[in-house]
Amino acid sequence: MQRRNFVKSSFIGAAAVSSGFTSYARQKAVEGRQVYDLRRYQMVRNYRKNDLDRYLREALIPALNRMGVENVGCFTPLGKAEPVVVYVLIPYQSGTDYFRITRELPKDEAFLKASEFYDKQPPENPVFNRYKSSLLDAFEGFPGLKVPGEKKNLFEIRTYEGYNEDAVRRKVAMFNNGEIDIFLNNDFNPVFYSQDLVGDNLPCLTYMLAFSNMEERDERWKAFGSDPDWKRMSSDPVYANTVSRIHKTFLEPLPYSQI
């Protein structure tokens, strides 16, 4: 049956092959699926963002890089919202690495020296209010973060809530069984796909896409919506009622972002 053959296919689309994504996916599958720490720093006053930028640029990111974490992403939302929110995406090679590095970081002398100015800020004038953190588990069908091959100025984070755990499991299966291929065949630049393990709005899944600008983003989504494979998959009763609410956030990379 045509639909079943399509659903069973994974990472064999012509676009995936031509982009070199298939070999990348196989390599990451051997290494194991990544986990992501997605942070949202809520600023108290926008002028203190300079100090958070300095901390991320000169202390946290270099320390993470020394410990084997590559491609740390840093972003702010489009627009002039106040107070600003800074998004930080930290990709770990595994859950084991996440816990190991989290425990080693406060003992790293170079990190402590570089972040001394940040740690000694007075309580009456904090750099930020709070930060929220979500721990994300990469999908089998996209097991590791993919940095766009060329500079992108617009990133879209999408979170899909499900009305229960089974709904999210079925939506994850939908991505793994063909939906990711549809994105790739329509020339999207996905950065990661993941299921939220810890964080807000559970149960849910989260993924990120990269674009040059909003016009490109709108064109890609228009093509996706009219794709016959998507129409076929989305009408499959196996995947009915998997998404109850969608959150979309548009971000731009900070100058020191590694994505």
C-alpha to C-alpha distances, 3 to 170, 172, 186, 224, nearest whole angstrom? 17, 18, 18, 17
Confidence grade of residue 82 (pLDDT, cut at 50, 70, 90)? confident
pLDDT value for 230: 98
- The answer to whether 181 and 13 are in contact (CB under 8 A) is yes
Distance of CA 135 to the CA centre of its chain: 11
259 token code pair: 């994505």
- Give me the CATH topology for the region 1-31+139-254: Alpha-Beta Plaits (3.30.70)
Position 16 pLDDT exceeds 60: no
Tell me the pairing of strands 154-161 and 73-77: unpaired
Average pLDDT over residues 137-151: 96
What's the pTM value of the predicted model, to 2 decimals? 0.87
Q: What is the CATH number of domain 36-137?
A: 3.30.70.100
pLDDT grade for 55, boundaries at 50, 70 and 90: very high
At residue 41, the pLDDT reads 97
User: What is the C-alpha radius of gyration for the chain, rounded to an integer number of angstroms?
Assistant: 19
pLDDT at residue 120, as a whole number: 95
Average pLDDT, integer, range 13-28: 41
Confidence of residue 83 (pLDDT cuts 50, 70, 90): confident
pLDDT at position 31 is: 58
Measured between alpha carbons, how far is 161 from 184 in angstroms, rounded to an integer? Answer: 23
| 8 A C-beta contact, residue 13 and residue 184 | yes
Six-digit token pair at 70? 């590559």
Predicted confidence (pLDDT) at residue 78 exceeds the cutoff of 80:
yes
